[in-house]
Structure 1
Amino acid sequence: MTATSTKPKYEIKDLSLAATGRQRIEWAGREMPVLRQIRDRFAQEKPLAGIRLVACCHVTTETAHLAIALKAGGADAILIASNPLSTQDDVAASLVADHDIPVFAIKGEDNETYHRHVQIALDHRPNVIIDDGSDVVATLIQQRQHQIADIIGTTEETTTGIVRLKAMFRDGVLTFPAMNVNDADTKHFFDNRYGTGQSTLDGIIRATNLLLAGKTAVVAGYGWCGKGTALRARGMGANVIVTEIDPIRAIEAVMDGFRVMPMSEAAPEGDLFITVTGNKHVIRAEHFAAMKDGAIICNSGHFDIEIDLKSLGATATEVKQVRNFTQEYRMPNGKSVVVLGEGRLINLAAAEGHPSAVMDMSFANQALACEYLVKNKGSLEPGIHSIPTEVDREIARLKLQAMGINIDTLTAEQEEYINSWTAGT
């Protein structure tokens, strides 16, 4: 549905879904006390007043609370989807109907619609961009050089997006500050590990009703997302194999008790394959050919290119939908390969994404990163900047406080000792 005017105010599936979305947003808010405190402060201080802001994110109940907080802070914000299958249509409807936040996102939108929404976002002439995957920033740099002067900075919370931003900076085209939210301790330690670990398996089970106990699960990549996925799969009884290209991460996986081998060796062993690398074609033609009949493949990295679906589609003699978000590819040798969620983020394609308790910290980082960019306008050099340590620690402190957990503080003697080089043993 599109609002009728020369310039659309929103583009969502169905505004009548707002009541359901409102209930779900309220439910998620129970587990997001840190962002709630930030929103309350933003409402009083208005640190984003006069700022045009574009957020390209997964449109979920948790993202709704970020958008509401940004608006409370005074931002003139619009929201677009960062992935065609991650939008929750009822949430999009509630943001439009209940909060007057322009949303351009429809679950299942095609690539043409997605890219059109990116252009609509840039038509907003943003000062600050919140990006998941850096598509908005990349499009700005490639197609709208004249708008770069408007940009105060961008924030990025995906591994894929940070990789792209680093490449932009190396090539000399990233000429404004970018906040690396992804590497904040209160983001990657929790969101990437515990959020991805739980929600990935949630999506797999919803799509397949698969019993993980006794299955061999192959996890491609042992970064924080891979660690969480491998840990949770093992916890549900799977025999886990890890594939890696980084020798340090590979050793870590071995010492964490996992088998480590190349994908070529894992392909004939796996019952379930999960990619979480941020790279392309991690599973490709030679791997499909070596897999067991009925092997299940899915991706929990940001983009669907981790699985070489083009070569799989070109090889298959038949493709059919066997369950929601579940396609079976029949191979020339008679075996079948099953792909979940069209190779897109399985935790959002077939489930609801990360639990709100971890997104509370991730989106607290996003909100405070936007505030930091605005407060330091003109003083930050172009390039990629870490979240300040004091901000990271404050988010952790607020989370502990909300959980009713106290921790120790240093005594004066201890403070003196750790700051002195003259005190011996």
Structure 2
Amino acid sequence: MKYDIKDLSLADKGKLRIEWVDQNMPVLQLIRQRFEKERPLQGVRISACLHVTTETANLMRTLKAGGADAVLCASNPLSTQDDVAASLVKHYEIPVFAIKGEDNDTYYRHIHAALEHQPMITMDDGADVVSTLHAERKDLLVHVIGGTEETTTGVIRLRSMAQNNVLGYPIIAVNDAQTKHFFDNRYGTGQSTMDGIIRATNTLIAGKYVVICGYGWCGRGVAMRAKGMGAKVVVTEVEPIKAIEAAMDGFQVMPIAEAALIGDIFVTVTGDIHVIRKEHFNVMKNGAIVCNSGHFNVELDLDGLETITTAKRMIRDFVEEHRLTNGKCIYVLGEGRLINLAAAEGHPADVMDMSFANQALSVEFMLKNAKTLEKTVYAVPEDIDREIARLKLEAMGVTIDVLTEEQKAYLVSWEMGT
């Protein structure tokens, strides 16, 4: 079995962590049990490009239980948990190509290694596998039935490909499932982003101005958690409706040019490029902390920052000090990559349970329906979304009401008035 990981001797530690997390992923457990009996993915080659974490490990175990022949590479150079990668190789015999801190060349070499598997299904988190496949390995498209995409940034890229008629196969936007973005993006990103900032810096959040760039589901989550920790939250936005929502949620809303002057901690969660630029870094307070929780580090104009930096040093793990030409110091966390995975452990398992349940069931759906699907981006079927929500409620011990026959009839009728 081919693989490329940091150290196989870390495997036993990784296995314990995988098992610990599995206890908090009851929906995925139920799917795995069914997959073991039915084997709906028998013989299907899957190339997955995801964050190599304990939660992802349990998704990979579920795919293998369903009969899949799966390989895994990292979707971010700093998000890999090396002990988890080792355990997947040693204990579960799943090929992994991922090393925490790998350089850009190694990152893409690993993506190519995953593509050598000649996937029938691609699983992406950021669309790097899909874009590499279409740009450099079109010869492999003949094998591909369909794919899934985990994150907002990837869905944006894939919809662009579909609109330009270059997408070679159908893809399900797992990110857009209600049981994904309502919970993973909001509660998962919110908690894990603040966790990453605190682990990296040990700074006090209370009383500080926390500037959040973007008020999508991830931004809402970060704002909620920062406010709960006593921060004075400022939101920057380009969408009027989201800006109104942020204002009515009680946050200050202003342009980034104004927020740069007052912020103590900056978090980008937009999915766009160069949200914080050179001119913004240049006017920040001495000691300002800057990080990103969007998928790619391009949200920060790090090249622009370099042009006004006179000296750099790693002052703590994942904390790089930039001394600027104006004499101030700015601190960039985790190389501008996903702070929740660079400096912490990513989303809690409880919320990834639903996200990865969507992944597993979407792969099953794709295999059953790919022949009837066009080469575009599809939403997760509503019945899958609802079933995952039902199973999660059941696992949480929460019961809900059931419509009476009278209520069902009323909701589909037009004769009954007030």
TM-score with structure 2 length normalisation? 0.99
Equivalent AA in structure 2 for residue 136 of structure 1: V
Q: Partner of 2:378 in structure 1?
A: 385
Q: Partner of 2:281 in structure 1?
A: 288
Q: 1-side partners of 2:130 and 2:150: how far apart?
A: 13
Q: Partner of 1:410 in structure 2?
A: 403
Q: 2-side partners of 1:269 and 1:79: how far apart?
A: 42
Deviations along 1:141-183, whole A, 9 cap, x unmatched? Answer: 1112222121111100111000100111111100310101001
Give the SS at the match of 1:99.
Answer: coil
Partner of residue 206 from structure 1, selected from 199, 210, 231 = 199
> Does 1:92 find its partner at 2:62?
no
Asked if the contact 2:276/2:300 (under 8 Å) is kept, the reply is yes
Q: 1-side partners of 2:297 and 2:271: how far apart?
A: 9
Q: 2-side partners of 1:176 and 1:14: how far apart?
A: 36
5 Å-filtered alignment, 1:361-380, equals 361-380=354-373
For the aligned residues, what is the CA RMSD? Answer: 0.7
Structure 2: where are the runs of 5+ without partners? none
> Does 1:247 find its partner at 2:235?
no
Asked if the contact 2:197/2:339 (under 8 Å) is kept, the reply is yes
% identical aligned pairs:
63
Partner of residue 353 from structure 1, selected from 346, 351, 358 = 346
Asked if the contact 2:170/2:370 (under 8 Å) is kept, the reply is no
Q: 1-side partners of 2:126 and 2:171: how far apart?
A: 13
Partner of residue 291 from structure 2, selected from 294, 298, 302 = 298
Equivalent AA in structure 2 for residue 355 of structure 1: P
Q: Partner of 2:214 in structure 1?
A: 221
Q: 2-side partners of 1:66 and 1:248: how far apart?
A: 36
Give the SS at the match of 2:261.
Answer: coil
Equivalent AA in structure 2 for residue 24 of structure 1: R
> Which stretch of structure 1 is more off in the superposition, 8-17 or 351-360?
8-17
5 Å-filtered alignment, 1:7-406, equals 9-406=2-399
Q: 2-side partners of 1:167 and 1:266: how far apart?
A: 31
Give the SS at the match of 1:100.
Answer: coil
TM-score with structure 1 length normalisation? 0.98
Shift of residue 187, structure 1, vs aligned partner: 0.1
Moved over 4 A (4+): none
Q: 1-side partners of 2:245 and 2:222: how far apart?
A: 15
Give the SS at the match of 1:56.
Answer: strand
Shift of residue 377, structure 1, vs aligned partner: 2.6
Q: 2-side partners of 1:167 and 1:416: how far apart?
A: 42
Structure 1: where are the runs of 5+ without partners? 1-7
Give the SS at the match of 1:297.
Answer: strand
